[in-house]
Amino acid sequence: MADAKVIPFDDDRSRSGGASRPARRRTGAGGGSGGRGDGPAAPVSALPGAQAPGAAGPPPPEAGGAEYGPEGPGREASGPASDGGWERRIAGGLAFLRRRVTGEYEVDEFGYDKELTEQVLMSALRPLAEKYFRVEVKGVENIPSEGGALIVANHSGTLPLDGLMLQVAVHDNHPADRHLRLLAADLVFQLPVVNELARKAGHTLACAEDAQRLLETGEIVGVMPEGFKGIGKPFGERYKLQRFGRGGFVSTALRAGAPIVPCSIVGAEEIYPMIGNAKTLARLLGFPYFPITPTFPWLGPLGAVPLPTKWTIQFGEPIPTDGYPQEAAEDPMLMFNLTDQVREQIQHTLYKLLVQRRSVFF
- The CATH code of the domain that includes 116 is 3.40.1130.10
C-alpha–C-alpha distance, residues 112 and 11, integer Å? 18
pLDDT higher than threshold 50 for residue 16: no
169 CB-near residues (< 8 Å, 6+ apart): 129, 135, 137, 140, 313
Q: At what angle do helices 248-256 and 208-216 cross, to 10 degrees?
A: 30
236, part of any domain? yes
Q: What is the average per-residue pLDDT within 178-201? A: 93
Report pLDDT for 92: 83
Q: Mean pLDDT lowest for which of 13-17, 91-95, 358-362?
A: 13-17
C-alpha–C-alpha distance, residues 283 and 90, integer Å? 48
127, part of any domain? yes
Give me the number of domains the chain comprises: 1
5, part of any domain? no
CA atoms within 13 A on the CB side of 80: 5
69, part of any domain? no
Q: Does this model's pTM top 0.85?
A: no
Instruction: Name which of 28, 221, 17 is nearest 107 in CA terms.
Output: 28
Which three-class secondary structure state does DSSP give residue 208? helix
51 CB-near residues (< 8 Å, 6+ apart): 57
pLDDT in tens, 215-258: 999 999 999 999 999 999 999 999 999 989 778 899 999 999 99
338, part of any domain? yes
pLDDT in tens, 75-129: 344 444 445 688 888 888 888 888 888 888 888 999 999 999 999 999 999 999 9
334, part of any domain? yes
254, part of any domain? yes
Give the range of the structural domain holding residue 122, as residue numbers without chain letter: 106-139+146-271+306-356
Q: What is the average per-residue pLDDT within 165-189? A: 94
301, part of any domain? no
What are the residue ranges of helices labelled H in the chain? 80-102, 114-116, 122-127, 161-173, 194-200, 208-216, 228-231, 248-256, 279-285, 332-356
Mean pLDDT over all residues of the chain? 81
Which three-class secondary structure state does DSSP give residue 205? strand
Task: Evaluate whether 286 touches 296 at the Cβ level (below 8 Å).
Answer: no
